Amino acid sequence: MELIKDLNIKLENAETRDFLADAIYPDTDKKLPLVIFVHGYKGYKDWGAWNLMAEKFAEAGFFFVKFNSSHNGTTVEDPHNFSDLEAFGNNNYSKELSDLGVVINHFVKNPHVDDQRIILIGHSRGGGISIIKTFEDERINGLITLASVDTLERFPEDEALENWKKEGVYYVLNGRTKQEMPHYYQFYEDFEKNVLRFDVERATEMAKAFVLIIHGTNDESVSVKNAEHLHILNPNSELFLVENADHTFGSKEPWTEKVLPHSLNIVIEKCIDFFNKNMK
């Protein structure tokens, strides 16, 4: 089956700034379920094996979209590198949710999309964002979390928090790029101002979508207990644990192989099976 790849589509968001999205889908006259992938912290749309993941979903009959959130540190001109650390430092959850709303609104209008079948897949922090958006937007009827956090309240505590407030910024080393990545205090202020909206636990309980929770048992970044907790909060969800899989299910940046990592392939096949069973 031939795939259509519409890459680096520029989307405008008046609340944030321009950012890029990709759409990959089969060349068919049928209206296709819309799957939107939401990357996580220090992630971007072309990281690791995400492009191969997109192709596999498209080959299975989905209209697959991935995007760079506007303040993830990449730019429209340079989507593969963290070339705008000032933007990264000014990111917050409100901006990420706003960008996701723009993506949904843009692609539901695509003539190839079935607007009655909208699915979010969120990785890591993107899982928390996807959970909240699923609760807020009734158009979304399928949700899959990959190695998701069970709370967005992931900030320095006590003395470190006070120092952040005093200094206005703290830095996190990116182990891959060796960049010192800033986090401005506005991030925490935005969270405090919207603490009820950003309640992942409440959103998980209230979500009216089919929910699949996927996690690797050897996740070094987000404990598998997060997945178990999400499943308890939403007993109608399905919990799928991938034995010995890490936080990115075997993927890494750069990914130079032409095939998917074993664990990520298992994940995608499970996702496709879940969609086909629940969203015919």
Task: Give the pLDDT confidence of 101-156 residue by residue, as tens digits.
Answer: 999 999 999 999 999 999 999 999 999 999 999 999 999 999 999 999 999 999 99
In-domain check, residue 161: no
In-domain check, residue 201: yes
Res 215: pLDDT: 99
Locus of tokens 């800033």: 182
Locus of tokens 């964002």: 129
Q: How many domains does the chain divide into? A: 1
In-domain check, residue 21: yes
The average pLDDT across 95-100 equals 98
3-state secondary structure of 231: helix
Strand order in the sheet with 19-26: 3-11, 19-26, 63-67, 32-38, 113-123, 142-146, 210-216, 238-242
In-domain check, residue 72: yes
Give the pLDDT band of residue 1 (cuts 50, 70, 90): confident
Tokens read off for 158: 């006590």
Could you read off the pLDDT of 146-177 as tens digits, one per residue?
Answer: 999 999 999 999 999 999 999 999 999 999 99
Helix (H) / strand (E) element for 272: namely: helix 262-278
Contacts of 235 (CB under 8 A, 6+ apart): none
3-state secondary structure of 265: helix
Q: What is the CATH number of the domain that holds 89?
A: 3.40.50.1820
Arithmetic mean of pLDDT over the chain? 98
Could you read off the pLDDT of 25-72 as tens digits, one per residue?
Answer: 999 999 999 999 999 999 999 999 999 999 999 999 999 999 999 999
Could you read off the pLDDT of 184-220 as tens digits, one per residue?
Answer: 999 999 999 999 999 999 999 999 999 999 999 999 9
CB 244 within 8 A of CB 84: no
Report DSSP state, residue 130.
Answer: H
The average pLDDT across 237-259 equals 98
In-domain check, residue 130: yes
Percent of all residues in the chain with a pLDDT value above 90, rounded to a whole number: 99
Res 171: pLDDT: 97
pTM: 0.98
CA 188 – CA 13 distance, rounded (Å): 22
Structural domain for 103, as ranges: 3-153+197-278
Res 279: pLDDT: 83
Res 280: pLDDT: 72
In-domain check, residue 29: yes
Helix, strand and coil content of the chain, in percent to the nearest 5, comes to: 35, 25, 45
